[in-house]
Amino acid sequence: NAGVMQNPRHLVRRRGQEARLRCSPMKGHSHVYWYRQLPEEGLKFMVYLQKENIIDESGMPKERFSAEFPKEGPSILRIQQVVRGDSAAYFCASSPRDRFGSGANVLTFGAGSRLTVL
Amino acid sequence: GIQVEQSPPDLILQEGANSTLRCNFSDSVNNLQWFHQNPWGQLINLFYIPSGTKQNGRLSATTVATERYSLLYISSSQTTDSGVYFCAVASMNRDDKIIFGKGTRLHILP
């Protein structure tokens, strides 16, 4: 079991470009969380997804940010027209909850993707 | 939404010392986890403990759900214990949204 895989580990973008961060959950996990961490700060909840369904996106900025978790393939966090304030570490975690929402919601984190906006 | 407060914010200890980290939360929870973020940024799940007491080696945790707090105990600290310890909770009413506290930064001196 390879754990939660995030890529890229480091991403550099210029202002106005797009950033795409990918997260492959642990095998058998069908729920994914995305968090943002600024330097020296805690983790801020962004979005919680199940395959083909956004469960809670109350932490996502209203503009430029979107997330998806398709039936096949990894979850994607997309940031359009990046600004310097988007520079942060973005962490993905997966949970073994089944598609009915049952089971302990215990998070396993990936190594994170560090976005730097020039 | 639910509020999570961790204390102390920073802690510096000598190797071998014991420590207690606290997590207070403002609402009933059905999910509480403790994480360690090491100096390289990796987040490791230490305990899933919405109630009761658990132990794993030198670490143990207790959650008193009725009084809305949890404690993480680290005994005989080692330099590898350094890093940030986060408490994360989910409200009974919003059991899918897991919120993190700001963490306790622990530095163990050799």
- Tokens matching residue A105: 């919601």
> Residue A101: is its pLDDT beyond 80?
no
Interface size between A and B, measured as CB pairs under 8 A = 54
Residue of B6, B89, B96, B99 to mutate when probing chain A, most A C-beta within 10 A: B96
Closest CA to B73 of B51, B92, B91, B58: B58
Task: Give every CB contact of residue B57 below 8 A, 6+ residues apart in sequence.
Answer: none
Confidence label for B83 from pLDDT (cuts 50, 70 and 90): very high
Contact (Cβ atoms closer than 8 angstroms) between residue B109 and residue B82: no
The whole-number pLDDT of residue A39 equals: 84
The number of residues in chain A equals 118
Confidence label for A96 from pLDDT (cuts 50, 70 and 90): confident
Asked if the C-beta of A53 comes within 8 angstroms of chain B's C-beta atoms, the answer is no
Closest CA to A18 of A88, A78, A92: A78
The whole-number pLDDT of residue B95 equals: 61
Q: Which residue has the higher pLDDT, A104 or A15?
A: A15
A59-92 tens-digit pLDDT: 999 999 999 999 999 999 999 999 999 999 999 9
Task: Give the mean pLDDT of B86-107.
Answer: 89
Asked if the C-beta of A55 comes within 8 angstroms of chain B's C-beta atoms, the answer is yes
Task: Give every CB contact of residue A57 below 8 A, 6+ residues apart in sequence.
Answer: A46, A47, A48, A67
Residue A44: is it exposed, middle or buried by C-beta count within 10 angstroms (0-12/13-18/19+)? middle
Contact (Cβ atoms closer than 8 angstroms) between residue A29 and residue A96: yes
The whole-number pLDDT of residue A32 equals: 95
Asked if the C-beta of A98 comes within 8 angstroms of chain B's C-beta atoms, the answer is no
Averaged confidence pLDDT in chain A: 92
